[in-house]
């Protein structure tokens, strides 16, 4: 037994407790750092020989303590779950937000919505139906103006939805660029961590930064990660592996650049090189759903309403007679000249108020005179009650939109609760507790003091021995 | 056991505070706008009800205007016909007076004939009464008169070749009421209409033709009864319009009440909710302040 083994053990204890205090200091410093995982100095007692052999037996007490490794306390399973839940929450947030914007575009229920403008237009026809002065009062001009207002409102709503589509595409383009940048950073960090590990350097902080980037990718495109033996992280999205060791694959946004061609060429995210289409979740999924389903669906519904309005009014208007007794033409025509009427191209064909076919009787029926009856205006006024008419269809669509938006809102609420719980569990594992750090500090402090005392005790013992000899 | 850290507490506290504050915000929004539903997702069924009620209210408003318009029209026709009946009565008296040939001098016959002609002019004037630009007895004519100066019907509808095309007003979603009477319906067909008969009387009185006058008197009586039929018909329609007006008013009231019910907030309830929410928010703030402050640090010396 060595005379100084006690001193050695005490020295190693001094070093280990110091290390413990250092780690505590680092933890306290990062108590509010996002994505920081608390660290712990792994104390390990140093024992005697582990393999008994002829020349290595002894009755040693042990060689003290070592604190070589500092570990990061983190639960990989919880991290994986958090990635999934954050992706789901991000996707739902986008959907809910998009539906909210669509609701804003329709401005219902209220005085500026299409419903109230349709009501006003029909009332205009009723005023024309009871207009008595054939020579023209304001009633005809009023109908024309109100009809134009309805048409303008259809145009405005359609354009608002189109702009929303464009903005969504732009923001998805930015997101893809952001994802590519993050993937490159992860690959760089993989490289640094791999080198650090082989050189025995601390990589905990680098790993924290890498995990934060992966979480960001999860929210953006629903990326998941797997840790490999060499310490690198493989990041994949459904359909492609984004980061493999130190190499990355880039993503690009392809497909329709404007909403006009969305049906034949839907926007999609593909790998470059490779051109494989990925099936993202997260924000990208929400954006893609908004562009390929939500906005086109509600625009198509609006187109249907415009076509229905024209289909209802035009035949009646054509069956009537204008102020000069001539047969009426179509009231609504597509501005493109031909083709189906949509919310974008609908326009009022009549510019002269006198050309509104308010009368229902031809000059033949009235024996050659121009009729001043308003039967046709009255009949057009009654169109608003048609259960299969534009008004009823519009209301049905708005109710459908409301249901969809409120379902999206409650889905998001539920998902937020789940995400919060997972985050709380993560925080519970990896978060820094000041109370805990304080107790650790006391623990290391006292242990340090005890080790120091140990050194002085051994010193005194040796003094005694040396004094005896001297 | 779950490890609780200061950061976890502050995160969950923040979330709770946010939730509380957003509830306060929603209630505050409702209170300032006075509306329960500001977007369809607030209440899809409520939105449907609100939109339907708005459309119904717009219809009812329009029909109320139609009803008042119809009343004006019917009243004007009624007044015109009543006046004309009084004058026709006067013409009858004059005719009977003229029939007593022995008692009258030729000057008096001349005077009676002149008065009858004047009355005929007046009758023609009444028959051309114009309401809001339309001659009320002219059917669906685009012109400004129902009868020309000679007493011929120039309106459209009610003649042998052209049937009557009623001028109607929509007084409810399903009910239309006719508001006009064509000239031929009220005054008889061209050639034997009121003005023709009165013209004949004037001529016959001037000529002292008692035989023709007796026949004229019968024709005048027939014209008179035709007018009184028309007045009765107008009266019946006025009653219908009045009824429609009453229904319209009560419908407007109930629709307005319904709209308020569907769209507007219940003020006391919302204020109460806001107060409760505020209390909750304050409690959360206080609890957070209490929970976040102390750490072990406060107790170490």
The residues near B229 (Cβ < 8 Å, ≥ 6 apart) are none
Q: What is the mean pLDDT of residues A293-304?
A: 95
Minimal CA separation from B106 to chain A, in Å:
45
Q: Mark which residues 41-100 of A lie under 8 Å from B by CB.
A: 99-100
Contacts of A320 (CB under 8 A, 6+ apart): A327, A328, A357, A358, A359, A360, A375, A376, A377, A379
Closest chain B CA to residue A410: B41
- Asked if A35 contacts A212 with a C-beta cutoff of 8 angstroms, the reply is yes
Which chain A residues are Cβ-neighbours of B261 within 8 angstroms? Answer: none
Q: For residue A391, which residues of chain B lie inside 8 Å, CB to CB?
A: 55
Kindly indicate the confidence band of residue B15, based on its pLDDT and cuts at 50, 70 and 90.
confident
Write phi, then psi, for B24 (nearest 5 degrees).
-60, -40
What is residue A183's predicted lDDT score, i.e. its pLDDT? 96
Find the Cα–Cα–Cα–Cα dihedral A212, A214, A215, A217, rounded to 10°: 130
CB contact under 8 A, A367 and B6: no
Q: Kindly report the three-state secondary structure assignment for every residue of chain B.
A: CCCCCHHHHHHHHHHHHHHHHHHHHHHHHHHHHCECCCCHHHCHHHHHHHHHHHHHHHHHHHHHHHHHHHHHHHHHHHHHHHHHHHHHHHHHHHHHHHHCHHHCCHHHHHHHHHHHHHHHHHHHHHHCCEECCEECCCECECCCCCECCCCCECCECCCCCCCCCCCEEECCCCCEEECCCCHHHHHCCCCCCHHHHHHHHHHHHHHCCHHHHHHHHHHHHHHHHHHHHHHHHHHHHHHHHHHHHHHHHHHHHHHHHHHHHHHECCHHHHHHHHHHHHHHHHHHHHHHHHHHCCCHHHHCC
Q: Is the pLDDT of residue A135 over 60?
A: no
Check B8 against A424: CB less than 8 A apart: yes
Give the lowest-confidence range in A5-9, A172-176, B117-121.
Answer: A5-9
Q: Which residue among B3, B42, B176 sits closest to A428, beta carbon to beta carbon? A: B3
Alpha carbon distances (Å) from A61 to A2, A65, A383, B297: 11, 12, 101, 37
Tell me which residues of chain A, numbers 106 to 135, contact chain B at a CB-CB cutoff of 8 Å. Answer: 106, 108-109, 113, 115-116, 118-120, 122-123, 126-127, 129-130, 132-135
Asked if B66 and A126 come within 8 Å (Cβ–Cβ), the reply is: yes
| Identity of the residue in B7, B11, B170 whose CB atom sits nearest the CB atom of A129 | B170
Distance from CA of B204 to the nearest CA of A (A): 34
Q: Which residues contact B132 (CB under 8 A, 6 or more apart)?
A: A132, A133, B72
Instruction: Please report the residues numbered 389 through 408 in chain A whose beta carbons come closer than 8 angstroms to any beta carbon of chain B.
Output: 391, 395, 398-406, 408
pLDDT value at B82 more than 60: yes
Query: Which residue is closest to B2 within chain A, CA to CA?
Result: A428
Q: pLDDT tens for residues A437-468?
A: 999 999 999 999 999 999 999 999 889 888 88
Q: B11 contacts in A (CB within 8 Å)?
A: 423-424, 427
Q: Which of residues 306-335 of A touch B (CB under 8 A)?
A: none
Q: Is the pLDDT of residue B284 over 70?
A: yes
Please say whether the beta carbons of A126 and A376 come within 8 A.
no
pLDDT tens per residue across span B168-224: 899 998 889 999 899 999 998 888 889 999 999 999 988 888 888 889 999 999 999
How is residue A372 annotated by DSSP? -
What number is the average pLDDT over the span A391-406? 94
Mutate to test the interface with B, among A89, A372, A407 (most CBs of B within 10 A): A372
**pLDDT value of position A363:** 82
Pair A350, A327: CB distance under 8 Å: no
Q: What sign does the CA torsion over A97, B55, A381, A357 have?
A: negative
Q: How far is B298 from chain A (nearest CA, A)?
A: 10
Selecting from A126, A137, A359 the residue whose C-beta is nearest the C-beta of B62 gives A126
Task: Give me the percent of chain A exceeding a pLDDT of 70.
Answer: 95
DSSP A50-106: SS--GGG-------EEE---EEE---HHHHHHHHHHHHHHHHHHHHHHHHHHHHHHH
Count the Cβ atoms, other than its own, within 10 Å of residue A342.
21
Q: Which residue of chain B has the CA closest to A107?
A: B39
pLDDT tens by residue, A22-65: 999 999 999 888 889 999 999 988 876 666 666 655 666 777 89
For chain A, what is the mean pLDDT?
Answer: 90
Nearest to A225 by CA among A87, A76, A92: A76
Predicted confidence at residue A133, as pLDDT, reads 62
Q: Could you tell me if B223 and B211 are in contact, meaning their C-beta atoms sit under 8 angstroms apart? A: no
> Which tokens hold the place of B169?
């007003």
Task: Tell whether the model's pLDDT for residue B154 goes beyond 80.
Answer: yes
Predicted local distance difference test score (pLDDT) of residue B1: 63
DSSP-derived 3-state class of residue A146: helix
**Strand arrangement of the beta sheet that strand A247-248 belongs to:** A224-227, A233-237, A240-244, A247-248
Confidence of residue B243 (pLDDT cuts 50, 70, 90): very high
The closest CB to that of A373, out of B6, B167, B176, belongs to B167
What is the per-residue pLDDT for A58? 60
Given an 8 Å threshold on Cβ–Cβ distance, is B41 in contact with A406?
yes
pLDDT-derived band at B103 (thresholds 50, 70, 90) equals: low
Q: Do A106 and B40 lie within an 8 Å CB cutoff?
A: yes
Residue B134 to residue A429, Cβ atoms within 8 A:
no
What is the distance between the alpha carbons of residues A75 and B242, in angstroms, rounded to a whole number?
Answer: 81
**ipTM here:** 0.83
Model confidence at A137, pLDDT cuts 50, 70, 90, reads low
């Amino acid at each position: 037994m060595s005379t100084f083994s006690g001193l050695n053990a005490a020295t190693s204890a001094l070093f280990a407790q110091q290390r413990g205090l250092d780690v505590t200091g680092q933890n306290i410093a990062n108590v509010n750092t996002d994505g920081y995982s608390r660290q712990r100095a792994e104390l390990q007692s140093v024992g005697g020989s582990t393999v008994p052999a002829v020349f290595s037996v002894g009755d040693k007490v042990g060689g003290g303590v070592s604190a070589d490794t500092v570990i990061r306390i983190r639960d990989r399973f919880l991290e994986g779950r958090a990635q999934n839940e954050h992706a789901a929450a991000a996707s739902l947030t986008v959907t809910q937000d998009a539906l909210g914007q669509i609701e804003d575009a329709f401005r219902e229920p209220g005085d500026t919505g299409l419903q109230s403008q349709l009501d006003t237009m029909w009332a205009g026809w009723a005023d024309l139906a009871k207009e008595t002065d054939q020579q023209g009062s304001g009633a005809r001009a009023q109908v024309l103006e109100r009809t134009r207002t309805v048409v303008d409102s259809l145009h405005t709503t359609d354009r608002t939805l189109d702009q929303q589509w464009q903005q969504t595409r732009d923001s998805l383009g930015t997101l893809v660029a952001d994802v590519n940048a993050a993937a490159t950073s992860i690959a760089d960090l993989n490289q640094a961590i791999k080198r650090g590990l082989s050189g025995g350097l601390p990589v905990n902080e680098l790993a924290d930064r890498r995990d934060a980037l992966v979480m960001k990718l999860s929210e953006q495109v629903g990326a998941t990660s797997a840790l490999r033996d060499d310490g690198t992280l493989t990041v994949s999205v459904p359909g492609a592996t984004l980061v493999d060791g130190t190499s990355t694959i880039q993503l690009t946004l392809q497909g329709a650049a404007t909403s006009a061609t969305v049906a034949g060429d839907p926007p999609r995210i593909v790998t470059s090189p490779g051109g494989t289409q990925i099936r993202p979740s997260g924000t990208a999924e929400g954006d893609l759903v908004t562009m390929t389903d939500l906005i086109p669906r509600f625009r198509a519904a609006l187109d249907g309403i415009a076509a229905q309005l024209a289909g209802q009014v035009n035949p009646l208007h054509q069956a009537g007679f204008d102020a000069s007794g001539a047969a009426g033409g179509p009231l609504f025509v597509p501005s493109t000249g031909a083709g189906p009427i949509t919310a974008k191209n609908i326009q009022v064909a009549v510019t002269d108020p006198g050309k509104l076919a308010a009368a229902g009787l031809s000059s033949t029926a009235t024996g050659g005179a121009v009729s001043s009856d308003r039967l046709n205006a009255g009949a057009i006024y009654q169109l608003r009650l048609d259960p299969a008419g534009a008004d009823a269809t519009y209301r049905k669509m708005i109710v459908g939109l409301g249901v969809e938006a409120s379902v999206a809102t409650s889905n998001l609420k539920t998902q937020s609760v789940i995400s919060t719980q997972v985050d709380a569990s993560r925080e519970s594992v990896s978060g820094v507790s000041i109370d805990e750090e304080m107790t650790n500090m006391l623990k290391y402090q006292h242990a340090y003091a005890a080790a120091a005392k140990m050194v002085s005790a051994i010193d005194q013992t040796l003094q005694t021995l040396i004094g005896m000899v001297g | 056991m779950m490890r609780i850290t200061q950061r976890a507490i502050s995160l969950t506290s923040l979330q709770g505070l946010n939730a509380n504050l957003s509830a306060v915000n929603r209630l505050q929004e409702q209170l300032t706008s006075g509306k329960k539903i500001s977007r369809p997702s607030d209440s899809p069924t409520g939105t449907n009800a609100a939109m339907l009620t708005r459309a119904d209210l717009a219809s009812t408003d329009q029909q109320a205007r139609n009803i008042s318009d119809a009343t004006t029209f019917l009243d004007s026709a009624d007044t015109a016909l009543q006046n004309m009946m009084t004058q026709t009565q006067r013409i009858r008296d004059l005719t009977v007076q003229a029939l007593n040939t022995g008692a009258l001098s030729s000057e008096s016959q001349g005077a009676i004939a002149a008065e009858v002609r004047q009355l005929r002019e007046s009758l023609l004037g009444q028959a051309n009464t114009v309401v809001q630009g339309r001659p009320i007895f002219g059917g669906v004519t685009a012109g400004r008169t129902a009868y020309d100066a000679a007493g011929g019907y120039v309106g459209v509808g009610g003649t042998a070749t052209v049937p009557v095309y009623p001028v109607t007003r929509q007084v409810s979603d399903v009910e239309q009421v006719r508001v006009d009477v064509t000239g031929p319906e009220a005054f008889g067909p061209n050639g034997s209409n009121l003005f023709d008969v009165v013209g004949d009387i004037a001529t016959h009185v001037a000529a002292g033709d008692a035989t023709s006058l007796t026949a004229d008197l019968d024709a005048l009586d027939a014209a008179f009864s035709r007018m009184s039929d028309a007045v009765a018909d107008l009266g019946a329609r006025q009653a219908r319009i009045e009824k429609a007006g009453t229904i319209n008013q009560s419908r407007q009231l109930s629709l307005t009440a319904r709209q308020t019910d569907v769209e507007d907030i219940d003020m006391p309830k919302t204020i109460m909710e806001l107060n409760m929410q505020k209390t909750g928010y304050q409690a959360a703030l206080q609890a957070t302040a209490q929970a976040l402050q102390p750490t072990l640090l406060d107790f170490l010396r």
